[in-house]
Structure 1
Amino acid sequence: MIVLAAHGTRAPAGPLVIEALAARIRAEAGVSVRVAYADVRRPDVTTVLDSVRGHQAVVVPAFLASGYHVRTDIPAQIAASGHPDVVLADAFGPAPELIEAMRDRLEWAGYRSGDAVVLAAAGSSDPRALAEVRVAADALSMQLGTSVRVGYAATARPSVSDAVAYARGRGHRVAIASWLLAPGLFQRRLNDSGAEVVAEPLGVHPGVVDLVLRRYRHALGSLVAA
């Protein structure tokens, strides 16, 4: 079974996207998928694992960077469950499937050659997580054949609005690539940044589904081997 562990948001659209992603994974893999949240919403990972004792479980963190929740909160919630047959998969990170998904979303939103591109991420106080965002921006830059600036919706700098203002000051139309998984407060900040083009979050893109299944199968292999 897969426990898909997302961040959580108070925006009603966010959980709908995570549940839709879980349903797509369930349909593609024929495996049970339960949703848990590391923060803000319930149930948390501990509660979900408590409810599936007797079943092997792979917890897949649906996070685009390995910040505090991935390195601390989710492992602590797993430990608190006392579940004897569980393994934690790698977080999403700047995987190739997600770079392709981000590019698709950007192009579907109306990006055209010559636009200045800002990759907008949530932000983190963890320098390792910020380094992963930079890797994603560099990978998108390679795909588009243009430079990609990074802006953050919270915590880190520069802000998305500052990154957009800088690009516009150089005389460009600005397109934002959303390095977010689901809609919520951070996506609203992207929409309010003044950019001419704002891509939707990665959401239930086939590349996201493929990545969850890849993370699951890799982690399941280590669980069976143990």
Structure 2
Amino acid sequence: MTVVLAAHGTRNPHGVAMIGDLAAAMSRRLEETVRVAFVDVLGPSPSDVLAALPDDEQVVVVPAFLARGYHVRADLPAHLAAAWHPRTVLTTALGPSPALADAASGRLREAGYRPGDTVVFAAAGSSDRHAVTDVRRAATRLESVLGTAVTIGFAAPPAGSAYPGIADAVRRARRRPGRVAIASYLLADGLFQRRLADSGADLVAAPLGLHPRVVDLACRRVLAAQQRHADRLSPSRG
């Protein structure tokens, strides 16, 4: 079996390396080959990777996305259709998942978060209603983990965005006393994480990246897909 970890893509070498490190961590845990593909910015694309694999190879594609936006619901299925690999299974995206709230909380505490800090939950940004719903759900889960209210800001807010840009979100958070802390809801380093760093917050959590809960979640997506595939192939029991 081959696993394809399909991420967005970034020109930031550190961000690319983080996705590669996540794939390597998955490979060690699963004891399977895990390849990396990108749907935007750079290659190889998912269709490129799939086209290079033997037709009899079982392939599991894991969308390395934290919400069910356009790339998950349209781009990835289009890549799979273009490659036409006969034994490919597409898993659900990494998010939304309670595991990501745990990872975001862990990263926030690593950055120096203290009770009483005002928290801004920073996501990439999307006009897709499914993605916005997922971000709102993830922020609510983080509120539950931290035991405090959080506000939402987008690193790249689209026109008519449901939430403000991250710099505006930080300025609004300044109306409350105490420090402003950003919980990063990004998977890897890159342009959007730099925008968080430049937003004026007192502390900014690192991307979720290789947090143990993220690695575990990605592996569980693969194992669940394998089980679904096995169930479909097994004879029905009367």
TM-score category, normalised to shorter length: over 0.9
Matched to 2:213, the amino acid is: G
Deviations 1:154-187 (A, max 9, x none): 1233111111111102223100000000000000
1:223 Cα shift? 2.2
Residue 38 of structure 1 pairs with residue 45 of structure 2: no
1:215 corresponding residue in structure 2: 221
TM superposition shift of 1:149:
0.3
SS of structure 2 residue aligned to 1:183: coil
TM-score, reference length from structure 1: 0.98
Tell me which residue corresponds to 1:97: 99
Which residue is 1:82 aligned to?
Answer: 84
Q: Is the 8 A contact 1:116 1:148 kept in 2?
A: yes
Counterpart residue identity of residue 15, structure 1: V
Q: Structure 2: which 5+ residue stretches go unaligned?
A: 233-238
Deviations 1:91-141 (A, max 9, x none): 011212211111010000010010000000001110110110011111010
Asked whether the 8 Å contact 2:108–2:206 carries over to 1, the reply is yes
Give the Cα separation in 2 of the matches to 1:170 and 1:101. Answer: 25
Residue 57 of structure 1: aligned partner: 59
Matches within 5 A, 1:139-154: 139-154=141-156
Corresponding residue for 1:66? 68
Q: Give how far 1:221 is off.
A: 1.7
Q: In the alignment, what sits opposite 1:7?
A: 8
Whole-Å separation in 2 of the counterparts to 1:225 and 1:101: 31
Q: Is the 8 A contact 1:86 1:223 kept in 2?
A: no
One-letter identity of the residue aligned with 2:76: I
What amino acid sits opposite 1:46 in the alignment? S
Indicate the percent of aligned positions where both proteins have the same amino acid: 54
SS in 1 for 2:174: helix
Which amino acid is 2:88 matched to? V
Q: For 2:151, give the aligned amino acid.
A: R
State the SS of the aligned residue for 2:81.
helix
Equivalenced residues, count = 226
Report runs of 4+ in structure 1 exceeding 6 Å deviation: none
Task: Tell me which structure has the larger Cα radius of gyration.
Answer: 2
Q: 71, 93, 112: which one pairs with 1:110? A: 112
* Cα deviation 1:57-106 (Å, max 9, x = unaligned): 01000000010100000000001001000011000112122111110100
User: In structure 1, what is the equivalent of residue 165 of structure 2?
Assistant: 159
Contact 2:118 2:176 (C-alpha < 8 Å) held by counterparts: no
